[in-house]
């Protein structure tokens, strides 16, 4: 992709919701505001998501009242929610970004499909 097309593509993302994955496994979901030559990304109205800690998973696994079920933890699947918090405006350093995803709502997908027709 040449430089002009790259700039146009980045311009088209301004104001859209991005999901940015970091090297420490955190995920930031917010409105894309800008980037720079060092690949730093600024997001507004951002939520940070973290995977549950090993102790939270262990607590969920042993939180059953049935001792027989607690001993069979390895045989079952445990579901534990990610933790989240609102952090507002954030700069994600480019060196710590592992993946960027464009988050589209069902309404945005329908609008995009309608334009193709």
pLDDT tens-digit series, residues 33-59: 999 999 999 999 999 999 988 888 888
Distance CA 78, CA 84 (A): 19
Q: What confidence score (pLDDT) does residue 77 get?
A: 76
Report pTM: 0.75
Nearest to 93 by CA among 15, 26, 4, 11: 26
Sketch out the chain's domains with CATH numbers: 7-116 (2.30.30.100)
pLDDT tens, residue by residue, 64-104 = 544 444 444 454 677 888 899 999 999 999 999 999 999 88
Please state, in angstroms and as integers, the Cα–Cα distance from residue 38 to each residue in 6, 66, 95, 103, 114, following that order.
Answer: 15, 53, 8, 23, 36
In degrees and rounded to multiples of 5, residue 47 shows phi and psi of -110, 140
């Amino acid at each position: 992709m040449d430089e002009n097309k790259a700039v146009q593509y980045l311009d088209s993302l301004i104001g859209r919701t991005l999901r940015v994955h970091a090297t420490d496994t955190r995920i930031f979901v917010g409105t894309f505001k800008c980037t720079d030559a060092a690949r730093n990304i600024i997001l507004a109205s951002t939520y940070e998501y973290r995977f549950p800690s090993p102790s939270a998973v262990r607590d969920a696994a042993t939180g059953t009242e049935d001792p027989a079920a607690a001993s069979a933890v390895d045989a079952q699947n445990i579901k534990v929610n990610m933790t989240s918090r609102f952090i507002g405006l954030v700069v994600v350093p480019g060196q710590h970004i592992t993946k960027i995803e464009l988050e589209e709502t069902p309404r945005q997908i329908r609008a995009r499909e309608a334009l193709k027709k």
